[in-house]
Amino acid sequence: MLSPGQKAPDFMLFSSDKQEVSLQNYRGKNVVLLFFPMAFTSVCTAELCEMRDSISTYAGLNTDILAVSVDSPFTLAKFREEQNLPFPLLSDFNKEASTAYDSIYETFVFNLKGVSKRSAFVIDRDGVVQYAEVLDNAGEVPNFQAIQETLTKLK
């Protein structure tokens, strides 16, 4: 598992807007990188809506939010639109980023293979992991308070 102090693995994924997004594009800003299992599920919706509702807090901490799942860009676009999410949803359909961040279930519900684990990483403006939380239980959400405390220390 990635630990604080390690360099965050870069990735190139397609967003719900069908644009290529790389972690490199966010150098100079802090990033909260979230992995979530599946769009349109109750806990994932609650998690991302919590981030949406706190967007001004994160903006005040010079932080962008990126959320990643193995859903297709088309599914993520519909989910983003329905939930009015003001940050990119990134498709890790090929499971490369989820694997690089040790955030992937071998087998998830309904015997689905290769679904992203719910995870949260704070990556500083230099691309270094400052906080890492990978949850085995998909029914739990990341510790938003710990994430915000980590970002406050980076300010």
Q: Where are the beta strands (DSSP E) in 27-128?
A: 30-35, 63-69, 89-91, 104-107, 113-116, 119-123
Burial of 43 (0-12, 13-18, 19+ CB in 10 A): middle
Q: Which one of 21, 31, 44, 48 is the catalytic residue? A: 44
Active site residue 49: no
Q: Which of 60, 34, 61 is nearest to 47 (CA)?
A: 34
End-to-end CA distance of the chain: 25
Q: Which residues are catalytic?
A: 44
